[in-house]
Structure 1
Amino acid sequence: MKKILGYFSITILSIIILAVIAGGSIFAFYASQAPELSQEKLQATSSSLIYDKDQNLIADLGTEKRELVTSDSIPIGLVNAVVSIEDHRFFQHRGIDIYRILGSIWHNLTNDTTQGGSTLDQQLIKLAYFSTAESDRTIKRKLQEIWLALQLERQFTKEEILTFYINKVYMGNGNYGMRTASKSYFGKDLTELSIPQLALLAGIPQAPSQYDPYTQPELATKRRDTVLSQMYRHKYISKEEYNTALSTPITDGLQTLKPATSFPKYFDNYLTEVISEVHEKTGLDIFSAGLKVYTNVDSAAQEHLHDIYNTDTYVAYPDEEFQVASTVMDVTNGHVIAQLGVRNQQEDITFGTNQAVLTDRDWGSTMKPITDFAPALENEVYTSTAQNLNDSIYYWPNTKTQIYNWDRQYYGWMTMQTAIMQSRNIPAVRALEATGLKKASDFLAGLGITYPELYYSNAISSSTSSNDQQYGASSEKMAAAYAAFANGGIYYEPQYVNKIVFSDGSNKTYEAKSNRAMKETTAYMMTDMLKTVLYYGTGTRAQIYGLNQAGKTGTSNYTDEELATINETLGLNNWNVGLMAPDENFVGYTPQYSMAVWTGYKNRLTPVYGSGLDIATDVYREMMTYLTGGYNEDWTMPDGLYRSGNYLYLSNATQNYNYYYETTTASSTTSSTEQSENTSNPESSLQESTSQIQNHFEATTENGN
């Protein structure tokens, strides 16, 4: 037995020795490949150069807001705040903290949330040498980070390391380095700041946008208070100082941000998306990474779009508060060539809200082509643009709630082409019901548009119950979705950045992600019908003589309660001003470009009415005229279709079409009051209760044009 235990012990010891040797060998190998420490690399905070599609320099991000601090100018209060929140054993360890690493491992094993074990030294190494992208968090990178942190402690003092860090971190609003942020936010040097102000600065680097005291005061306060709690815990401040600091408003001492940009204002919204995409692709902070970023923006087109928004040369706006948001894409590759999400942007705002990418407004009937009719064609529920649909009294599926058209009238039997051209709501809902919610939802997902759950009310609206920006529609998403009609059925994810050259001279080229979203026949049939919207339908104002194009209008709707509020506060009534809407939209495209335009007011209870309802189409028309010069080639009809008169038919689906026509004709006779009793729909995989649809459709489009 002793002999067996002896052999077992020797075996275990041998395994441990071999593991240590193997681990040490791997560590030594990766360490030998690590970059060399450089004071210049640690100390400098390089700006990034941004180029347009023609490789012209359009922005130098970082050079305008840089001010370094020396070790002897850092107040002890800031030192205490930084080490308390980032690495409270900073002055005890030699680059790595084994207790912190073991603690983070235990936390991650016993909690749903994750916790990092990096020291302040390791964070500095990340900022100076490595990407923080999730894909780059490899064993090799981690071991090199540890090695460099150990070397950092050998070559530099604690004061120097802390100074490098304080000068390196990004602090939001174009500021990098804490001294820069101190002067930008408070108009003071670091030595003049109070304890709560220093705590605020110390907490920002973890998530500069999330803890921005100007745009996210509640989150910034919570983060600052966390820093103060850690300072008190580690006895850097007294109980009295802690309580006083907690009671200090986050706005204490904050001054109005002053504009300090190195680029024309009309690039602001576009650059906001560039910054986001660069971080998504690389994990790097564009303001300090020393990158060369090549974008897809057409500078001349971006400037022209800005002029359309902000001058009276092209479009007549009702007032200065009226807002526009739009995105222009190259349909052949997904490149966003122009984007602007605001009119009359304030001069003191940099990288502000970009309405062009937000999904918090309703796109109305522009959803009909992609939610209702294209899925019906793609699944061959309908096989011809001549498909007959009944525009008669109808009810939301599975409810007793009547559906109305925008004009409260019914036109009876009509072709699908006419239903799209005249933007009739009831044929659109019928199309979604015939196709089924599951199939329609899958089709939309292929176009980059998702919902937590698709409702029948989404047949005529992009409204969603979720506030998450990944759901619903925006001008960016709509331009990309309609681009798939334009290019024969390929969806391209909107792309802003096509190439990045890194600080070490290496580079990476990017192409937009793509997938086939629909058959060529579906895309062409939709385009053929959407052409009629501009020639004879609701979008004639967007027509450009001589230009082959297609598109769709969209108007959202007020509830009765909202209309009562508008009447009470503004003194407006439908009867004396006509149609009123919170959102008016247009999405159009040519064989080269797609463009989605939203118009309205920041406060949706300020209505769009009268000539304001024409502005979405006017903005589109002026921009597309500029881009195309008023002439282009037409689309070519793909195989699998034939034309008879004004309509298109799938070549191999005549029998299918006749069958569906007969069943639709027969079932449509029940679309009166009796149909409200019908609570089943075999075509649909998802069912809605009366209360669900009632709550959801009240916020959707009744106007529908």
Structure 2
Amino acid sequence: MNSSSISKFLFWLIVSVFSGTSLLISAVYLYLTPQLPDIQSLTQIELQIPLRIYTEDGQLISEFGEQRRRPLEYNEIPQQFVHALIAAEDDRFFQHNGVDLKGLTRAAIQLVRTGKKKSGGSTITMQVAKNYYLSSAKTFSRKFTEILLALKIEQELSKEEILELYLNKIYLGKRAYGVEAAAQVYYGVSLSELKLAQLAMLAGLPQAPSAANPINNPRRAKERRNYVLARMHTLGFIDQQQFDDAAKSTIIARYHGLKSEVEGSYIAEMVRHELYQKYGEDTYRLGFRVTTTLNSKAQTQANNALQTGLLKYDRDHGLRTQPNQKLLSPTKLQIYDNEITLTWPTELDDKQDIDWPKTLDDWQEELNSRGQYGLIHPAIVAQVLDSGAWIVSGRKQWSWLPFSGVKWAKPYISVNRVGREPTKTSDVLSQGQIIWVTASAESGLQLAQIPEAEGALISIDPSQGAIRALVGGFSYGLNKYNRATQADRQPGSAFKPFIYSAALANGLTPASIINDAPVVFKDAGLENTWRPENSSGKFYGPTRLREALYKSQNLVSIRILKQIGPRKAINYISPFGFPREKLSKDLSLALGASAVTPLELATGYTVLANGGFQIKPYFIDRIEVGSEEELVFQANPMQACLECTATAENSSQVNDAQSPQDENQALLDAISAPLSEALSAEAVASEAPAVRRLAPRIMDERTHFIMNNMLQDVIKRGTGRRALALNRNDLAGKTGTTNDQKDAWFSGYNRDLVTSVWMGFDQPRSLGRWAFGGNTALPVWVDYMGAMLADKKHNPFPQPDGIVNVRIDPETGLLARPGQKNAIFELFKQEQIPARDSSKQGTAEHNNDDDEEENSPELLF
């Protein structure tokens, strides 16, 4: 075959190959084009955004969702980062039309030479097409579809829009999707706050986000970062000086977990549960932004107050020995490295043959595995001296723990006994021991231990039910059980205000005389005969109602309930927020034997704090969804309003003896309606202003005023006297302690805030013979309320019409004689002013007890 024939053959071969390729491409184009999606749908795609929960004042509480993402608009992205990205990924991005022919050619040559697909020649636009529409399968058909989509995207979207889509979608390791989330994960700040070296580090991550990020592989990540910087220098984005400075910088990236600005994990879980009931798995991807009713100051103070109280209780009962407590042996030096220069605390014994660099590295791993729980954090004892100990805590931080912070650690023997006080630090601590420590402004650094006793605190705005603070235990990280909403515990005497309120509504007065004497109660439902007694074990004889309340005399409460009847009392009490089925149907109700949650008890006290109105506590104020934060729910709670003119609806629902019981019963429902019900079509927010909803009155205003005044006496002269430290004239409340000191309570309020505190063990057992509501729960309440009311004006209730203040004989409860020296003033409803002759006072139970011996038990059936 001559040369002419060969030329013709090659020519037609090339033409055939070209034609065949063209036909193949045309066929593929015609086949795939109809299947391509509408590019405009890219602008409507909702990226997976986690559920985020905030306080009312905008502080982040928690985030739920597998993909951490914070979308940015293009104008929020630093230009230097854009340069770093295109230098690393696609340096001709602003010139090509979506497909880089040079890159594709290079990828094809590599495939021919090696037989393997080493690179796909993808542009940023092609990656957008893949990330939003296609799978990651490495097939030729997917590649052709990717190319066609890229061309179509470039025709319909601007370069800036394409980059915005890419940067918000791309995975960059450590659950971070999008560049803003990556900046937060690796550096703990926004993308706009990063320096050149850090921006280049992030720009290099798309190539291998899991294997080459600066946390998993710092060396490889640094090499990739410097490659990006070199490309930026080559392309003229940075000068030589910028390159040199950035390339020399050390890697400071570390994992920054979710940075909650306020610790509110218990209520965050309540929010998550409510949304999940409605939306299922969409809860974690639609980008819900939930604003709760929590106040960040209140929540922080509640956390600190409860933890402080539990730690104090724990210290008072001694240091529990831990047989399996871990001791780490410091590593001995084998070879000294004279080039290492370290600065240790001056008192540290440098004669010990310890390789401190190696030791601290080992200890740091141990400390990292322990975590931190609010006010306490782990540490390891480095050296023990008579005057204290050197300890090492997080990030190899040295601290001095003085002996004064260890001196409390008497050995725990039982809940009522502790051993001898230690005389030197080594009586308690050993080198290498893992311990817990806490710090306070008053006491400095102190040894601590994770408390066994638990507690709960809930604080509510009584005017409309917003929960301002909720703490369900010492630490959510240790135990997720929410005692504030899930723990049914007997409230003891903290329940008595509701019994006394029922008594005042049914004819008794603060001056009614009730005999404090032994009783015996027999009931077929009880295994043994019930012989209730006062906590002091004494009996006080005829006692005024007011005095019996602030002294918390149990036997008076029982006789009051006997007189008005358990059924009538339950009808009166249940609208306060207590589920009817939880209330005992017998006289044990008078002593708080009906188990309720701290939330339910606090709800009851809101009626006393707001002037007698029924409100329902709630914890979600509004819900927004999506990147546009569309409002889908806005709470519109009922408002207690003393100043408002009583409507027919309100006045018809006054919960006093004269009110129809069927109307009271109609008020009963769940304490907090599920959000799944609230998010109905009727509840979705609209542009129309919400109609103000007035809460129904369930307590006569005069009954309320007298009851509130009696509860103020609990603080002024009764079991709540520790609250006098707040120096306020508008506080009222009641302590509660159950049998064998298994539960300690204090619930108290002013018109601005209701707070209930409970302390006890999860598996009920005694807190100790000296643990009562007044010295265990009340100090926590004082700590919290003192901070919350510090800048609030005193806000007493105005005296309503129909209340009179008259002088009475404190022994008989009747009107005082003229000139009687021991007479006292007492409040009465105008129509209940007592007479001077005892025969005219028919509502007091003492008439039934005149013939009874003071210490002779009365048999109650």
The match for 1:548 among 712, 720, 730 is: 730
The match for 2:507 among 371, 381, 398 is: 381
Q: What fraction of aligned residue pairs are identical, expressed as a percent?
A: 22
Distance in 2 separating the partners of 1:438 and 1:313: 38
1:499 aligns with 2:615: no
Secondary structure of 2:56's aligned partner: coil
Q: Could you list the per-position Cα deviations for residues 11-64 of structure 1 after superposition, in whole angstroms to 9, with x for gaps in the alignment?
A: xxxxxxxxxxxxxxxxxxxxxxxxxx9799898543223222123444333266
The residue that corresponds to 1:234 in the other structure is none
1:617 aligns with 2:778: yes
1:409 aligns with 2:538: yes
Q: Is the 8 A contact 1:51 1:294 kept in 2?
A: yes
Aligned pair count reads 421
Secondary structure of 2:637's aligned partner: coil
Secondary structure of 2:614's aligned partner: strand
Q: Could you list the per-position Cα deviations for residues 182-203 of structure 1 after superposition, in whole angstroms to 9, with x for gaps in the alignment?
A: xxxxxxxxxxxxxxxxxxxxxx
Distance in 1 separating the partners of 2:56 and 2:804: 40
Distance in 2 separating the partners of 1:473 and 1:293: 28
Unmatched tracts of structure 1, length 5 or more: 1-36, 67-173, 175-257, 465-471, 559-580, 680-705
Aligned ranges 1:138-537 → 2 under 5 Å: 261-264=258-261, 266-278=263-275, 286-311=283-308, 317-318=314-315, 320-346=451-477, 352-370=480-498, 372-378=499-505, 380-382=506-508, 384-396=509-521, 401-452=530-581, 454-464=584-594, 472-503=595-626, 505-513=630-638, 514-537=695-718
Q: Could you list the per-position Cα deviations for residues 377-419 of structure 1 after superposition, in whole angstroms to 9, with x for gaps in the alignment?
A: 12x231x211111101223377864321111211111111000
Distance in 2 separating the partners of 1:595 and 1:450: 20
The RMSD of aligned alpha carbons is 3.6
1:642 aligns with 2:804: yes
| Change in CA separation of 1:414 and 1:323 when aligned onto 2, cut-off 3 Å | same
The residue that corresponds to 2:795 in the other structure is 633
Q: Is the 8 A contact 2:541 2:854 kept in 1?
A: no
1:602 aligns with 2:762: yes
Q: Is the 8 A contact 1:421 1:533 kept in 2?
A: yes
Rg (Cα) greater in structure: 2
Structure 1 length normalisation: TM-score? 0.54
Aligned ranges 1:63-74 → 2 under 5 Å: none
Distance in 2 separating the partners of 1:278 and 1:416: 47
Distance in 2 separating the partners of 1:345 and 1:591: 30
Q: Is the 8 A contact 1:381 1:434 kept in 2?
A: no
Which amino acid is 2:507 matched to? Answer: V
1:651 aligns with 2:830: yes
Distance in 2 separating the partners of 1:638 and 1:279: 46
Deviation at 1:316, TM superposition (A): 5.8
Deviation at 1:511, TM superposition (A): 2.7
Distance in 1 separating the partners of 2:561 and 2:310: 42
Structure 2 length normalisation: TM-score? 0.45
Which amino acid is 1:376 matched to? Answer: A
Q: Is the 8 A contact 1:266 1:340 kept in 2?
A: no
1:538 aligns with 2:719: yes
| Change in CA separation of 1:315 and 1:62 when aligned onto 2, cut-off 3 Å | same
Q: Is the 8 A contact 1:269 1:341 kept in 2?
A: yes
Aligned ranges 1:50-69 → 2 under 5 Å: 50-62=53-65
| Change in CA separation of 1:652 and 1:340 when aligned onto 2, cut-off 3 Å | same
| Change in CA separation of 1:336 and 1:671 when aligned onto 2, cut-off 3 Å | farther
Deviation at 1:606, TM superposition (A): 5.0
Distance in 2 separating the partners of 1:677 and 1:530: 30
Distance in 1 separating the partners of 2:276 and 2:513: 50
Q: Could you list the per-position Cα deviations for residues 538-573 of structure 1 after superposition, in whole angstroms to 9, with x for gaps in the alignment?
A: 111222213420110100114xxxxxxxxxxxxxxx
Q: Could you list the per-position Cα deviations for residues 453-476 of structure 1 after superposition, in whole angstroms to 9, with x for gaps in the alignment?
A: 523344344444xxxxxxx42221
Distance in 2 separating the partners of 1:387 and 1:312: 38
| Change in CA separation of 1:551 and 1:285 when aligned onto 2, cut-off 3 Å | farther
Deviation at 1:290, TM superposition (A): 2.3
Q: Is the 8 A contact 1:305 1:338 kept in 2?
A: yes
Q: Is the 8 A contact 1:501 1:507 kept in 2?
A: yes
| Change in CA separation of 1:412 and 1:307 when aligned onto 2, cut-off 3 Å | same
Q: Which runs of 4+ in 1 moved over 6 A?
A: 37-43, 280-284, 397-400, 671-675
| Change in CA separation of 1:462 and 1:425 when aligned onto 2, cut-off 3 Å | closer
The match for 1:660 among 816, 821, 842 is: 842
The residue that corresponds to 2:204 in the other structure is none
| Change in CA separation of 1:661 and 1:284 when aligned onto 2, cut-off 3 Å | farther
Distance in 2 separating the partners of 1:659 and 1:285: 66
| Change in CA separation of 1:461 and 1:661 when aligned onto 2, cut-off 3 Å | closer
Distance in 1 separating the partners of 2:555 and 2:768: 24
| Change in CA separation of 1:41 and 1:615 when aligned onto 2, cut-off 3 Å | farther
Aligned ranges 1:81-160 → 2 under 5 Å: none
Distance in 2 separating the partners of 1:364 and 1:438: 19
Secondary structure of 1:595's aligned partner: strand
Deviation at 1:429, TM superposition (A): 0.9
Distance in 2 separating the partners of 1:651 and 1:675: 36
Q: Is the 8 A contact 1:330 1:594 kept in 2?
A: yes
Q: Could you list the per-position Cα deviations for residues 215-257 of structure 1 after superposition, in whole angstroms to 9, with x for gaps in the alignment?
A: xxxxxxxxxxxxxxxxxxxxxxxxxxxxxxxxxxxxxxxxxxx
Deviation at 1:643, TM superposition (A): 1.5
Distance in 1 separating the partners of 2:303 and 2:851: 52
Distance in 2 separating the partners of 1:286 and 1:674: 64
Distance in 2 separating the partners of 1:427 and 1:519: 23
Q: Is the 8 A contact 1:600 1:608 kept in 2?
A: no
| Change in CA separation of 1:381 and 1:501 when aligned onto 2, cut-off 3 Å | same
Deviation at 1:533, TM superposition (A): 0.9
Distance in 1 separating the partners of 2:852 and 2:471: 47
Distance in 1 separating the partners of 2:543 and 2:489: 30
Deviation at 1:496, TM superposition (A): 0.4
Which amino acid is 1:459 matched to? Answer: L
| Change in CA separation of 1:299 and 1:281 when aligned onto 2, cut-off 3 Å | farther
Q: Is the 8 A contact 2:49 2:67 kept in 1?
A: no
Distance in 2 separating the partners of 1:488 and 1:53: 25
The match for 2:752 among 592, 599, 602 is: 592
Unmatched tracts of structure 2, length 5 or more: 1-39, 70-174, 176-254, 316-448, 639-694, 808-824
